[in-house]
Each structure stands twice: as structure tokens, then as C-alpha cells.
Structure 1
Amino acid sequence: MTTPHRRRLLQGMTGMAALAAAGCATAPAARGAGRDRPNIIFIMTDDHAQSAMSAYGNRILRTPNLDRLGADGVRFENAFVTNSLCLPSRATYLTGLYSHAHGMVTNGAESNFNNEPLLNHDATWPVMLRKAGYHTGVVGKWHVNTPPRGYDYSAVLPGQGQYFDPPMDVNGVRTRGRGHTDDVIGETAMSFVRDRPRDRPFALLFQFKAPHRGWEPAERFRTAFADVDIPPPPTFMEDIADRPRAIRAADLLIADMPDYRSRGVRADMPVEERARLNYQHFIKDYYRVLLGVDENVGRMLDLLDAEGLSENTVVVYTTDNGMFLGDHGMFDKRLMYEQSIKVPFLVRHPASIASGQVNTDQMVLNVDVAPTFLDYAGLDRDPHMHGRSWKDVVAGQVPADWRQDFLYQYFEFPAAHCVRPHRGVRDRRWKLIHWELADEWELYDLQSDPNEQTNLAGRPGYAAEEARLKERLEKLRQEVGDGDLPGYAPADPEDMRFGGYGLPNEEAPTCRPLPPA
């Protein structure tokens, strides 16, 4: 029986349905295939803040191998995710679709509007490349809640995975790695490259667990930064009393971070002292696990050199979402603020990309990865994909109609951290955010206020700009078919258990109600 919710879901998922139909038949049309097609390595971490890399200006955490990758190609300053949450963003990287269209909108065990597994593997770029003759593999963190299908090789962490001696599902068979997960994933990915068939190109998803929470470094990095007092960001002790009610009701403050190491942080300490102690414990372990990522990326780059593969291998490094590292006094992600939605994005392909580029002008998104890899493989972009290829951008031929703004959406609630649904639009200068259950707005001039400290929404001097952005928000939603989701408007906005896009009730936390207006 098809319920009204199911009908609305299907109506909102025309992109995935069309991609699935196309994927079940044949690969996208090829524009020329041969042995000169590049290999592709897509390296993704989990929760990697753009600021946590020396290539992006960090002077304490040194990441020489990631820096090398960026120096050999292009470093994007304005790369963003369209939903700052692990699973929805990962599905977007795979499909080129916004999360409302691919259906994976939460991090829950059953992750969509009606608790149905919706990710169609035939509609993902790795499977499309395999149908076009690529040897494909995925190694490391998967976290899309349905096992990978349609790959020549898969070795993935079940669920969130663990940092030491991680269980791994290798072609569907449970095994156990030995050692730190960064090293296990790194060595397994390199084995895939070493053992590849020589008669066709390969595409590899090389995906780390780090620096996701837990933050358990390998033994060789445990004392790194021990004698360093890492300065917090300038907005660290920000008073959020003037932020929207949805921000004040969320659970994101670093002062309230669980004491995951029992290092003497007590609930009865003054808030500032507790925040600073939590920050030092957290940021040092966060940096330490990234040292392992950097080291293993370097090992992969060295292997490509040794195998003579560097020249014609497209290597992309990014993450599933950004991360607050004490910014606004917070940790985690989810919000539409800059540190949450902006991600590191490095691209290298010596055969077509000049080295030493820093792109500060074009905005690239996670929806762009799938069409770009199809483009590199000589395949046409599926017209239902929301993203577009940046292959010409990195080659120095920027299309005149490249995007000037983009849509952001976040749906998961109630769930961990109790962040309520919101959508927004960001352009080169302005950002507008709509908190939908509370019907509150935020407006920031990123040119004069890059730290998003002064909310201009509702101020008479900015009424025209606010109206323009509201109109643009609706236009962007229409362009990608983003209508209100099933269960989107509960009869009681303070009902924490309404159906639609929260976690299943047994997983959902009890969230605080919105404070009085």
C-alpha cells in the first residue's frame, strides 16, 4: 500500500528515480574511452575542519603530505557541503544529488523519511565507472548504511568503525584489521593499487575514519603537542544569548562536551575553565589523529610515484563535512555557519592541472564530485544530477555561468546535538539562514563579518538584501525540487517525536524545547 507520505517521498525523489532507472540499464554515454582515461583516487576523511591543515594556514598542525597534494595541483578556498552531516553528505558525494533527492537525510540506522533504504548503488559514480570499464574499489569508512554493492573490491568499516584493530567487511566477509585504523585503511588502499589489473584504469574511494570523534591517535602520535598550549579561535568564549532560539536549544557547546578522557574536567568548574580544559584535550587528540591521515596519504602518493601512476591519476582530498574547533564556543558540525559547511578540497592531476594553484573565486560543492569524475572518465553527466563538473575550472577554463550561490539544507531532528532543521543560501558575500520550526532568520555580511557575529536579519537597512536572498532561496529550492518533506510540519512544533526526518524514537535524544521568543 502506498501511503500519502510514501507518495510525497517519491514525488520529491525524481532525481534518484531517474538515476536509478538509467543506472540499471547502462552506464552514461561515453565521449571516448581508452587507456588514456585517468585513474581516480577519492580520499575522504570524516569531520575535517578546513583550518586543521597547514596548507590552509594552520601553524601548529603540520600536514606536509596534504600540503604536497595541494601544491602539486589546486587548493580550493571555497569548497562547501550542502548538508553538514556525515551520511547525507557521503550519499551526495556518491550521487551528485541533494540529500532530499537521494533520500539519505539522517545518520540513523534507517536513514530516510520513511525508514526505507533508498540509496540505489547503480546511481553512484563508482558503479557507473565500473560499467564503463574501470576497476573499482572502496576502502575504509563507508557509513551509508547499506553495504557497498557494484564494486570490484570493498573493505569497509561497519558503522562508524573503531580506531584500533578495526573490524572490516572485505567483500562482505567480516575480518579484523590489526593496528590503528589510519594504518589499516592506508595499507589496504595501497594493496588495492598494487594489485590492480594493468589493462584498465582504476577508481578508488580511500576513506579514513579520522578525525571523527573518539579521536584516538596511534601510539606514535600520543605525545604530539603535549607541551603546546593551542590557542582557541577568536570566537571561543562567544556569548550565544543573542543567537536564535534554535542555536540556544542545541547541544553543541564545548564547555558541555562529554569528558571522554576523564582528565580532571568537572561539571562544577566555572564554564570558561571547563571549556578551556575540554578544548585542549579535544584539539590535541583531533590534531594527533590527523597526523596519521597525513602520513598515510603521503605513503599513497609515494606509491603512485613508484608505480609511475602520478601523472595520469586524479587525486582529490576532501571530507564529508567541516567541524567547529571551538568556533562560537562549539564542537561538532550541522549548522550553516562557515566552519561547519566549508571543507578542505585539494585536486591533483599533473596531466591536465597546473601546479601551485589556489582557487579563491569559484564555489565547489559536494554535489559536484560525481559529475566531475564522470567527466574525467569520458562519460556524460546524468542530467538529473544537481552538481556540475569542475574539470574545466581546475584546467583554467572557468565557465562563464559558474554558480554564484548555493542552497544549504539540514533535516535531522530530533537527534544527537538537537540541531533543528534549517535551510539557507550563501553567495560570495551574503548568507541567509531560516530556522524553520521557530521561523527565525539569520543574515550575515561575510565581507565585513566573516565570523558571523552580527545578525542583520530584520534590520531596516538590510531589508532589500534580505528580501533578495529569501527570493533566491526559494528559487534554488525549486531548481533542485526541494519541497517540504513528509512529516515536515508537526501539529505541535514542540513535539520532539514527530515523524519524518529524525532518528528512530529509540535512538533519538530528548531535546530541550525552544526557549521563549
Structure 2
Amino acid sequence: MPDRRPNVLLLLTDQERADLVSPEGLSVETPTVDRLRGEGLWFDRAYTPISICTSARASLLTGLYPHAHGMLNNSHEADAIRRDLPTALPTFGELLADAGYENSYVGKWHVGQDRGPESFGFDYFGGSDRHHDDLDDRFRRYRESLGVEVGASDLEEPIYTAGEHPTLVAATTPAPPEATRAYFLAERTIDALERWAAADGDGPFFHRTDFLGPHHPYVVPEPYASMYDPEDVEPWPTYAETFDGKPRAHANYPDYRGVADFDWDTWAAAAAKYFGFMTFIDEQMGRVLDALSDLGLDDGTAVVHASDHGDFTGSHRQFNKGPLMYEETYRIPLVVRRSGVVEPGTRSDAFVRLQDLMPTFLDWADVPPPEGLHARSLTPLLDGEVPDDWPDSTYAQYHGDEFGLYSQRMVRTERYKFVYNAPDRNELYDLEADPHELRNLIDHPHYEEVRREMAALLVEWMEAVDDTLRRWAPKTLS
């Protein structure tokens, strides 16, 4: 009897903010994501559980919030709380493999220093780099086969942060598009699909491709590097940020990141490269989808596009991400296409989270989810139904990065956002009156009742997920 379970293709980007591709978002050309939205279901309110790479990716694998899986900060730094994801935790890769799925993986991992995708149920086909894993020789050999050698000194129009150890923010690479990592990852993905189609295996496949972008440095080849004119990039509404009434870390972070002296012209030039990077990656995802169609795998394959978290790119005058729980870094793109199941061109305004993909994949594979997950399957939403008990809010965390440990918790409803900052003042935003989160209302007398209600909701979430701060944090919220 043929296996009716779907193949799954997960296309994950790195640091893609939702407004790059959302229906009412920025004027960035992303025809592939537009195509997926038109053929699938777009989630307007998708959020990451945490805005930092290792932690978010570990949550995706385990269906758990970071306090439970233990990967609290980035695994590649010297101050990493954990070097690797604990092997005792069930992950969807291992569970799918046990259920007969043929799993493959291309690109960024960044969930540990010593154990890669092979330790969690996947065949790994390469494509990462030294910063996040071991140096990937396959990409180096690929570039050599094209006769392309490009070093840092060859970059054009580079933008660097200030400081003793400047960080490259953006640049144009003279390498042709086909010699870039994004193109290479698409090539390896197409190879994986072709291998599976040729093998005609008995079980379904799960393939995951993790692009190393549009995370900085926004190093982009032509014609994408000059596709967006910096003069046409309007200042973010959040660029009006003054840090007045905000936690001290907000004002400290631009100095720490080396961007305190960036003016709007500098940010516009960086944002233009960021936009071009996204268009370039979108084109590579398009190549993958075209191959899927050419191989006759369209109807039997569920396609999911998401990102681990967003990016500031000058919003709130910030670079990268950090202990700032704004929409630009916590709201993520999420679109699902599954022929015959998902109604084409639909949207959902239900609150969903990146880690909800874990039990969704298991649901598709007829695999019971492990007990104690901090996630739930998106299947009813994909079927056009919203369960009566579906949450009307979402919850997120932050535990720190190289800036230092910094405990934060966030709860967001349709109208309000409340942020708990353990060592500093809390935050409250009225997203209806202030959608750009410029005015902290935590001490505003007219919002006292709202503050109490949001604090109580935060405590409910902390109790529901057995948050390690649940016993003492509520005492500071009264």
C-alpha cells in the first residue's frame, strides 16, 4: 500500500523580518514567497520564541521554549551556556527518521559546536561555515571549480561598524551569483530532490534548507546589490526612537554594536543591500520550487517557508538583534503550501510560533508528539479551522548573548505588548495607538489596569510552560 504521508520541504532563512515578504509589507521583490502565499496559507501573526539563532533553531527542533531545551544563547561563542543541544530531548528529525522518513539537510545548522544535523536524524549535504560549524569544504571546492576566489579586500562599497574590531555590515561582492553561498545551497537542494526522485524510495522525504541570509553581512552580488536605490529607502518610522522611558540596554546597544554614529544615509545603504539579499535568496527558493515541479513532486510535497527571527537593519536605531523585543525581530514570515489540504491564497491572524512547526511535521507523519511540548500542531489552522482554545496571545523569551545574560519575557495580544525586563524597567506598548513601539506606557496612569492585566497574562504563560522564572518574577510585577 503506498505511503500517503506528504513529503516536506522546509526553506528556512536566517534573520528575515516578516515585513520583507508580508502582503502589506515593504516594496521588496519576492516573487517566490508571493507565489507560495498565493498557493498556500500566510500567517500574519507568526512569532519566534526567541530572537537569537541557536536558541530559536533549537526550539524549532524540539518544540520547547529555550528555558526547557537549555540552549539559552549562541553556541559558537566563548560564553555559550551549552555547546550542544542535549541528545535526550526528542527532535522532529529523529522522530521522522524513526517513522520512515528520509531526511536530508543543507546549509546553516548553528545548534551546537560538536554535534550537527547527522546527530539529529538528517543526512547532511553541507553548506555551512566556520562561524556556525566547521569550515565547509564542499562550498570552497565548488567555488574553486568555478574559478572564483573572492576575499574581503575585493568587496566593494563596504560598510563597517565602529570600534576596535569592526563588523562588516554590508557590501557588494564581485563574485557572480552562481558563485555565492545562497546559489550553492539551492544547487545542493536541487541535487537532493533529484536524488530522491531517482531513487523512488518507499518512504516520504523531509528536506530542510537553511539559507545563511539575509543575515548580515549583507554581501550581495550584482545585479541584486544595486537593485534598490538607497535614496528610495524611506526612514523606518521607528527611526524616530529617542530611548526616552526605555530600558537602559536600548540606549547602550547602538554603542555596543558600533552603530551609534550611523546616520540615515548609512542605514539606507545597508537596508538597500538587505533588500537585495532577500530578493536574491527568494530567487534561489524559486529555483528549488521549479525543480520540485519539474520532478513531478509538487502535489505530494508540503512546502514551508519561515525564518528563525527578524532583523533591525536600523529600526529603533539598532543593528542585528538583542535584548529588545520589538516586532522587527520577533515577528517572522511563515507560509505553508500543501496541495489539496490548504486553501490557496488564504491568511490566518491566529497567533502561531516557530516551534509549532515541530508538532505539525509530526502530525503530517502520523507520529504522536512527545509529552510536555510548548507547541501545538498548525493542522487545524491549515484546514481553515480555529480551535476554541487557540491562544489569543503569544509568549517569547530572551536570555542574553555576547552582550551578557539578560532575562526577558514578552506577552503580546492583538492590541498590547508587555515586556518583563529582570534587571531594568518593564515595557508596555499600545500597538493600536503606537504601532511602532516608540512610547513605553509602563508608568502611564491611564494604562494601570492594562498593565495589571498584561502582567497577569504573562504569569499565566510562565506557569503554562513551566518557566524557570515563574516563582519569583511575578513578585516584581505587582
What TM-score, normalized by structure 2, do the two folds share?
Answer: 0.83
SS in 1 for 2:212: coil
Q: Report 1:109-508 matches (<5 A).
A: 109=76, 115=82, 117-120=84-87, 123-145=90-112, 146-148=115-117, 149=119, 150-160=121-131, 167-168=135-136, 176-178=141-143, 179-196=179-196, 197-198=199-200, 199-226=202-229, 228-251=231-254, 256-257=258-259, 274-334=262-322, 335-359=324-348, 361-413=349-401, 415-416=402-403, 420-438=406-424, 440-484=425-469
Distance 1:385 1:468, change over 3 A: same
SS in 2 for 1:483: coil
Shift of 1:295: 0.8
* Aligned residue number for residue 31 of structure 2: 64
Distance 1:122 1:237, change over 3 A: closer
Q: Measure, in 1, the Cα distance between the counterparts of 2:224 and 2:333.
A: 22
SS in 2 for 1:402: coil
Shift of 1:419: 8.1
Distance 1:100 1:156, change over 3 A: farther
For 1:72, the aligned partner's letter is E
Aligned counterpart in structure 2 of residue 84 of structure 1, from 51, 76, 88: 51
Shift of 1:215: 1.0
* Aligned residue number for residue 40 of structure 1: 8
Shift of 1:406: 2.3
Q: Measure, in 2, the Cα distance between the counterparts of 1:84 and 1:68.
A: 27
Contact preservation (8 Å) 1:110, 1:117 = no
The two structures, once aligned, show a CA RMSD in angstroms of 2.6
Contact preservation (8 Å) 2:10, 2:305 = yes
Q: Measure, in 2, the Cα distance between the counterparts of 1:227 and 1:469.
A: 40
Q: Measure, in 2, the Cα distance between the counterparts of 1:257 and 1:221.
A: 24
Distance 1:193 1:481, change over 3 A: same
Contact preservation (8 Å) 1:39, 1:312 = yes
Q: Measure, in 2, the Cα distance between the counterparts of 1:325 and 1:253.
A: 15
CA displacement, residues 305-344 of structure 1 (integer Å, 9 cap, x when unaligned): 1111111211111111011132222232232111110011
* Aligned residue number for residue 264 of structure 1: none
For 2:42, the aligned partner's letter is R
Q: Measure, in 2, the Cα distance between the counterparts of 1:358 and 1:206.
A: 24
Structure 1: gaps of 5 or more residues: 1-32, 259-270, 490-517
* Aligned residue number for residue 18 of structure 2: 50
For 2:436, the aligned partner's letter is N
Shift of 1:79: 0.4
Distance 1:306 1:132, change over 3 A: same
Shift of 1:280: 2.1
The range that moved more, 454-463 or 83-92, is 454-463
Contact preservation (8 Å) 2:72, 2:400 = yes
CA displacement, residues 121-171 of structure 1 (integer Å, 9 cap, x when unaligned): 861102210110011011011111231223234424134469xxx95267x
For 1:107, the aligned partner's letter is N
CA displacement, residues 374-411 of structure 1 (integer Å, 9 cap, x when unaligned): 00111112222110001110110221111112222101
Distance 1:444 1:138, change over 3 A: same
For 2:14, the aligned partner's letter is D
For 2:443, the aligned partner's letter is G
Distance 1:93 1:393, change over 3 A: same
CA displacement, residues 416-470 of structure 1 (integer Å, 9 cap, x when unaligned): 4x683311211222111111012x1111111222111222212222222211221
The range that moved more, 67-76 or 449-458, is 449-458
Shift of 1:257: 2.5
Q: Measure, in 2, the Cα distance between the counterparts of 1:123 and 1:34.
A: 27
Q: Measure, in 1, the Cα distance between the counterparts of 2:78 and 2:87.
A: 13
For 1:43, the aligned partner's letter is L
Shift of 1:78: 0.5
* Aligned residue number for residue 22 of structure 1: none
Shift of 1:475: 1.9
SS in 1 for 2:426: strand
Shift of 1:211: 0.7
CA displacement, residues 16-66 of structure 1 (integer Å, 9 cap, x when unaligned): xxxxxxxxxxxxxxxxx951100111111111011112644322x211111
Q: Measure, in 2, the Cα distance between the counterparts of 1:227 and 1:444.
A: 30
Percent of residue pairs bearing the same amino acid type: 31
How many aligned residue pairs are there?
429
